[in-house]
Amino acid sequence: MNVFFECAYRGERHFGLDLPADGEAVRIHPVRPGEDLGASVVAAVAAAGGDGPALRAALAAGRPEMIVPATGLDGLVLRPPLLPASLGDAMVSGFMQTHNVKVDAATQTQPNWFVKGLGEVLKVSGEPLSVPPGAVALCEEAEVVLVYVTDEDGSPRYAGYTFGNDLTDIGRFRRHAGHLSYAKLCDAGVAPWLFLDEPPRSVTGRVTIERDGARVWEGEFATGTKALHFGLEDMMSGLFSHGALLHPGRVHYVYLGADRSSFHGGFAMADRDRVTLDFDSHGISLTNTVSWPGPQATRPVAGRVAG
């Protein structure tokens, strides 16, 4: 498993090539001044041809290694993977109703696509997920996220995948299906770990929602390419056939859709709810607190815990 992550340490950008273990030292390498890190990663992935050790060697070549001791980890801040220095050069988007469990007679021949925003909507664990004040009803969506880097010729190059929470105002969409674009304008949780491999076929995990320190909802999810009703290659080639998306240097974070959520289980999410997505099959956890300003007069009564 080839894993890449980015961080800020002592005011400088660095990256690492391991999935750090809790409470252990972390090995990192500096990002060169002015370097297009996304382009560097894509080039290394292409040159390695699936050879893990060769990939690691290519990325680390000519860069000193720094070991951050466990006692110094408070000074290491994780970042969304390959996020450009200019947040306007990142586009966060996704597909909806892509999973077999959501297919019905009204399913179209290709899934709807939406834009969540630019790079500033991506939030790693510990950061709040903001939603519009007028949101109707929220749901978490545990998803695989594909990351592409657009090269200087305007061609999208696949870099790898990570995991995310496509927080959505599902209430607005349910009231008016034509308002999908508005319903998706919420922040998006994203894991900092970029897997430099092909998209996963199977991903399983669990959602836990806490309110005022108490667990109020829990449920399982399943995703991955084998859960998709649509062919992944067709989805991505169709998306990137539109030249308006392919500005050189742009980094795309594409959310692939989700299984059922707490909303489908009858739960009403509220301001300050703490949502944890455990992607158990891959050892990844993502936790964010919902920030939902007015006009909620009262917080909804806590829902049930689902098995």
For residues 246 and 267, state if they share a domain. Answer: yes
Structure tokens at 240: 């990137």
pTM: 0.93
Preceding peptide of 295 cis, ω within 30°: yes
- In the chain, count H helices and then E strands: 5, 18
Is 208 contained in some domain? yes
pLDDT digits (tens, 9 = 90+) for 63-102: 999 999 988 888 899 999 999 989 999 999 999 988 898 7
Q: What is the pLDDT of residue 295?
A: 53
Q: What is the pLDDT of residues 9-41, one digit of tens each?
A: 998 999 999 898 888 999 999 999 999 999 999
Distance CA(23)–CA(9), nearest Å, equals 17
- Residue 223 belongs to domain spanning: 87-291
Are 259 and 101 in contact by the 8 Å Cβ rule? The answer is yes
| DSSP-derived 3-state class of residue 160 | strand
pLDDT tens-digit readout, 237-261: 999 999 999 999 999 999 999 988 9
Q: Indicate the number of domains in the chain.
A: 2
Phi and psi of 67, rounded to 5°? -105, 115
User: Do 152 and 287 fall within a single domain?
Assistant: yes
Per the domain annotation, does 258 fall within a domain? Answer: yes
Q: Are 178 and 262 in the same domain?
A: yes
Q: Is residue 23 part of a domain?
A: yes
End-of-domain residue from the set 59, 79, 99? 79
- 306 lies in some domain: no
> What proportion of the chain, given as a percentage, has pLDDT over 70?
95
Whether residues 67 and 160 fall in one domain: no
> Which amino acid appears at position 13 of this protein?
R
- Same domain (yes/no): 216, 144: yes
For residue 298, pLDDT over 80 is answered with no
Within a domain: residue 304?
A: no
Q: Are residues 166 and 267 in the same domain?
A: yes
pLDDT number for residue 229 = 92
Task: Calculate the alpha carbon distances from 43 to 46, 81, 248, 260, 273 in Å.
Answer: 5, 16, 15, 37, 41
